[in-house]
Structure 1
Amino acid sequence: MALRRWLGTRAAALGRRVEPRALSLVAAATAAALLGFFYYPVATVFVDAVVVNGEPTIRPLVSVLTSRFYLVDIFWFTAKQALLSTLASVALGLPGAWVLSRFEFRGRRTLRSLTILPFVLPAIMVAIGFVATFGEAGTLNRALALVGLGPVTLLYTLEAIVIAHAFYNAPLVARVATAAWESVDARAIETARSLGAGPRRAFLDVTLPQLLPAVLVGATLTFVFTFRSFPIVLALGGFQLATVEVFIYDRVLNLAYTEAAALAIVETVVTLGLTYAYLRYEARQQTADRGARPQARRPLWPASWTPWGALTRVGIGAYALVVGVVFVGPVASMLFASVAGPDGGVTLRHYAFLVERQATGASYQVKPLPAIRNSLVFGVGTLLLALPMGTVLAVLSTRRFRGRKVVDALAMAPLAVSGIVVGLGLLRGLVFGVDVGEYRIQATGALAIVAAHAVAAYPFVTRTVAPLLGGLDPRMVESARSLGATRARALLDVELPLVAAGVVAGAAFAFAISIGEFDSTVLLASGSGSYTMPVAVERYLGRRLGPATAMGCVLLVATSLSFVVIDRFGGRWGGA
């Protein structure tokens, strides 16, 4: 009994000593995790490009930067498809932003919530949907055959890649532009109209200047995402339409690590520069005036009829038709292909194939249940790692201290580095092992996969929680501190409970990103026993479309559940 009291006293004394430094200790642990799971692996990739056989050299980089093959066939094609994809995404996203911000109609909030899908839907699933739509036996050619038209071949073309990228990124452009459109001060427009400006002149002089920065931000993010796009290009373009990411993957498969590392350096420099420009703009926006009065939305179906109103509704109807083909078509095609029989009837044979493969498949073959299990286990592991990391960085990003901007930039760096580069670094640095003195530190493929997923996921946790923390009334924290609470206790008892919805949404983001992550996983999965659902989808796609779509539907169910959570608790991502 006395021993128990003594231990309790010692534990309480230790807690009192540790508590004032708790936030610093957790921040240090987060920094150590970032160093081990991101910065060291990426540095390993960069070292591979400038150290060959133990000798420092810049020949690999010079070879990449002076090679016509790399500059024209790889980098120029990558930039061209990214530019075309960006233009297509902006062209599809801006009309949607206009409709969402200027009109009121039933289902508007639901449609706006759907603009977070690019952050939730796995890219390999999108690719499967486009294969099911535009393949030789896809729904497009089935529909054309019904009206007597010949088949259209779009797979393995630049057009297919651009349309798929627009599917993935136009909602992002729409979300950014909608927020900017809704922040335009109605009083400024009213002042311009009172001074004699017509609707067109008021739009050009007042609204458009405030929209352009947001459009440029959406375009910049889209260019970054499509420049380093991997699963969509791999599935719809193959190695004959290889981008930098696909070619890095090809070099890794051929064990040409130095060449892959040199390409990764050049790609990362480009994406880091563009991401830095985006983050600088966003920082300025966060300090902008938030007291604007938004314009009132007009009913989409007004009571009175006017020629201009009728023309507007016809245009919106045409846009809705395009949206249906580009956005609804691929998902519907995947669902249809998973139950379509060769005679046009409904069948469950593709799902039966998955069951049979699970029961009778060889050990080297991809089995569905281990892939589902691995995805769920890795998702939970990612959640346990990324949620505290992202929350700690969200707390730090809302504190004022010297060097905060540097910390913000270092913490957000994973947004600019592709999963292929992170996966290659973890493969070379942790899975292969690193010697530290007389010991060799080596991680299993599963641990490396969870680390890679956490690196990809935690920035979304940070960007979900940080705006909510920054919006809290500082007087509440000051009151808790005046009553004797330490900084850590005030955070746990006051701040985090008030932003619990954002933390839940961040957790859903982390889980969804892990479930859908393909880029790093395809490098780190050591065999069929460690494949995840996205990798299984890609493996099935290389052989039979039906089982691939069936597995894609399973993947869709898992990510849809995450979307429901994000939509319910989404904070800045899912707000109205």
Structure 2
Amino acid sequence: MARARSGLAPGLLLIALVPLGFLAVFFVWPVLAILRLGLAEGGVLSVLARADTWQLVAFTVGQAAASTALALVAGLPVAYLLARTSLRGLGFVRVVILVPFVLPTVVVGLAFRTLLPDGGVLAIVLANAFFNVAVVARTVAGLWAHLDRRAADAARSLGAAPLRAFTSVTLPALAPAIGSAAAVVFLFCATSFGVVLILGGARLRTLETEIYLRTVELLDLSGAAALSLLQLVAVLAALSVGALARRRRETALRLRGHASVARRPSGGLEWTVVGLAVAVVAALLVPVVVLVARSLDGGLAGYRALAGTGYAGSLQVSGVEAALNSVRAATDATVLAVTLGTLASVVLVSLSRSRVRRGLVEAMDTALMLPLGVSAVTVGFGYLVTLDLLPGDLRTSAVLVPLAQALVVTPLVIRMLLPVLRSIDVRLRQAAASLGASPWRVWREVDVPLAGRSLLTAFAFGYVVALGEFGATSFLARPDTATLPVAIARLLSRPGELNNQLAYAACTLLILVTVAAVALVESVRVPGRAAVGEF
């Protein structure tokens, strides 16, 4: 393997410069610029010394932890259903669990406020978990589908009960995927914006909503900078805990070239898990059904209004044009994010297999995850402050929205690909190298076939995430280039029943586009390729 290492190292350096350079220019620079402006005004220490600041921190962390725990509890049965059973309708389940993730947060907030009019902590936790069940289910299912059943079967033959075999054999093997999913879900919940804004009202605020309030409404950059620093510290702490868990529990799983054969559940415990999974899928449909039913309150008036700009010209583009803007921006963002995420995953896996210190690998992994945990307000305003210094003044360019969306999608691609690439049996690579294959041919002939399906689903998931991205896009999209989620939010903030009908019709259109995109990917099968890492 010395030959492989020496031949790959120079190329690795060049590959690493691509995602790290993108991160430096389009994330680190804008965020540091905003923090510098805020710190220059002073008053940061006084903000940090206030009791209500730490109450914000406690509520942010608490609701994110509760939402993550609920998403894990709900997502694991669905992961089992997708990975280990051969029941009919699994394609429908895969589509259904992805739809919540793409919905604009403000619309989901309204749906849950309809279901739970009093809002509050329970509504916030349920809504955030609703968004993130897909992250848990499809991340864990991708690895679960490739675990060798023989280890658990051996434990059963030695007298272990089904639950004991799961907790002692299967669960430790799934730990890397569960840890990755939990880290992503926690970051999403900690930076949740629209859900908290709608369901929390003036009573409940997180760091994200408080940063927005101080930046946009109070123009308190020093206070916003202080809270952004706290948010960054919380993100780093979460990522460090996740890295520590992976270091202690990640095992060298032996992935086979094909998924384990799915089968019908046998025994009461397995059917109970299937029942729980079906109940979770049914629960996920409830807010979606509420949204679709709400769009039909006025008949088809809202759908006919998609060709227009709403009551009294509330929008500068029609609903159809906003949908096309969403499709174009999401396509550009996904292509960029999958490219960057794949390159970053290759570098991280290659470094972890070499003699490079583990701390360097984990530091790079953590850096690439940071965009998930920093306020979209901070990033958006940072773009407006800094990007005029680049050629072409990107602040007025249509590419600004795809760049911001790619920042969100890239970490998700990495989290989907990395556990799978790390779990490939190194002996397969050694055998290929011993037969004279170059390092790049080893990647092409061994790693790509095993992770090919994972890459395809990463593209699909990234695409639907970009379609529904609201936080950064809401600050960067111009009125004439508004995406569908931004248009929906603007319509809901304007008076007029026609605007409400158009907003909910647009939300239904977004659901249909999402279902079509996911169904298309689900219909594609790569012959001879594994469905590893399916999200």
Q: TM-score, normalised by structure 1?
A: 0.73
Q: 1:317 to 1:506 in 2, by over 3 A?
A: closer
CA deviation vs aligned residue, 1:117-166 (integer Å, no higher than 9, x gap): 27x832416x525634652xxxx6xxxxxxxxxxxx53533222222122
Q: CA deviation at 1:312?
A: 8.0
Whether the 8 Å contact between 1:477 and 1:494 is mirrored in structure 2 is no
| Deviation, structure 1 residue 551 | 1.0
Distance change (3 Å), C-alpha of 1:491 and 1:559: farther
Partner of 1:124: 104
Asked whether the 8 Å contact 2:136–2:178 carries over to 1, the reply is yes
SS of 1:446 mapped into structure 2: coil
Task: Give 1:93's aligned residue.
Answer: 75
CA RMSD across the alignment: 4.4
1:261 aligns with 2:225: yes
| Residue 15 of structure 1: aligned partner | none
User: How does 1:165-564 map onto structure 2 within 5 Å?
Assistant: 165-175=128-138, 189=152, 197-198=160-161, 218-254=181-217, 255-282=219-246, 287-290=251-254, 299-300=264-265, 309=268, 317=275, 320-321=278-279, 323-324=281-282, 326-341=283-298, 347-357=299-309, 362=313, 367-400=318-351, 402=356, 406=360, 409-410=363-364, 412-418=366-372, 421-428=375-382, 430-433=383-386, 443-444=395-396, 446-464=398-416, 471=424, 473=429, 502-525=454-477, 527-543=478-494, 544-564=499-519
**What's the TM-score once normalised by structure 2's chain length?**
0.78
Q: Is the 8 A contact 1:37 1:426 kept in 2?
A: no
Q: Partners in 2 of 1:313 and 1:457 — Cα distance?
A: 35
Highest relative contact order (Cα 8 Å, sep 6+), 1 or 2?
2
Q: 2:142, 2:532 within 8 Å by CA — same for their partners in 1?
A: no
Show CA shifts across 1:244-276 (max 9, x none). Answer: 111111222122222112111101211222123
Aligned position for 2:532:
572
Secondary structure, counterpart of 1:357 in structure 2? coil
Compared CA separation, residues 33 and 197, structure 1 to 2 (3 A): closer
Q: 2:17 aligns with which of 9, 12, 28?
A: 28
Using a 3 Å threshold, how does the CA distance of structure 1 residues 559 and 467 change in structure 2: closer, same or farther? Answer: same
Distance 2:443 2:488 in 1: 41
Tell which deviates more after alignment, 75-84 or 278-287: 278-287
CA positional deviation for 1:98: 5.2
Partner Cα separation in structure 2 for residue 462 and residue 215 of structure 1:
14
Please tell me whether the aligned partners of residues 335 and 553 of structure 1 are also in contact (alpha carbons under 8 angstroms): yes
Corresponding residue pairs, total = 508
Distance in structure 2 (CA, Å) of the matches to 1:213 and 1:495? 21
**Conservation of the 8 A alpha-carbon contact between 1:30 and 1:389:** yes
- For structure 2, the residue ranges without an aligned partner over 5 or more in a row are 1-8
**Which SS does the other structure have where 2:350 is aligned?**
coil
**Is the CA contact (8 Å cut-off) linking 2:29 and 2:386 kept in structure 1?**
no
The one-letter code sitting in structure 1 at the alignment partner of 2:53 is Y
What do the CA deviations read for 1:437-490 (whole angstroms, capped 9, x no partner)? Answer: 9x99663263432221121222334445556766574665787877xxxx77x5
CA distance, structure 2, for counterparts of residue 34 and residue 541 of structure 1: 34
Alignment-derived partner of residue 77 in structure 1: 59
Distance in 2, Cα, partners of 1:522 & 1:572? 34
Q: 1:66 is matched with which residue?
A: 49
Structure 1: how far apart are the matches of 2:327 and 2:82?
35
Aligned sequence identity (%): 29
Q: Could you tell me how far apart the structure 2 residues matched to 1:224 and 1:295 are?
A: 32
Structure 1 gap ranges (5+): 1-19, 141-152, 303-307, 342-346
Separation (CA, whole Å) in 2 of partners of 1:504 and 1:212? 23
Larger Rg, first or second structure (1 or 2): 1
Local SS of the residue matching 1:432: helix
Q: Residues 266 and 467 from structure 1, CA distance in 2 versus in 1: closer, same or farther, beyond 3 angstroms?
A: closer
Give the drift of 1:94. Answer: 3.9
Structure 2: distance between partners of 1:201 and 1:504? 35
What are the superposed Cα offsets for residues 398-417 of structure 1, whole Å, 9 maximum, x if unpaired? 32454686356435535333
Q: Is the 8 A contact 2:416 2:458 kept in 1?
A: yes
Alpha carbons 1:43, 1:425 under 8 Å: kept: no
Q: CA deviation at 1:36?
A: 0.7
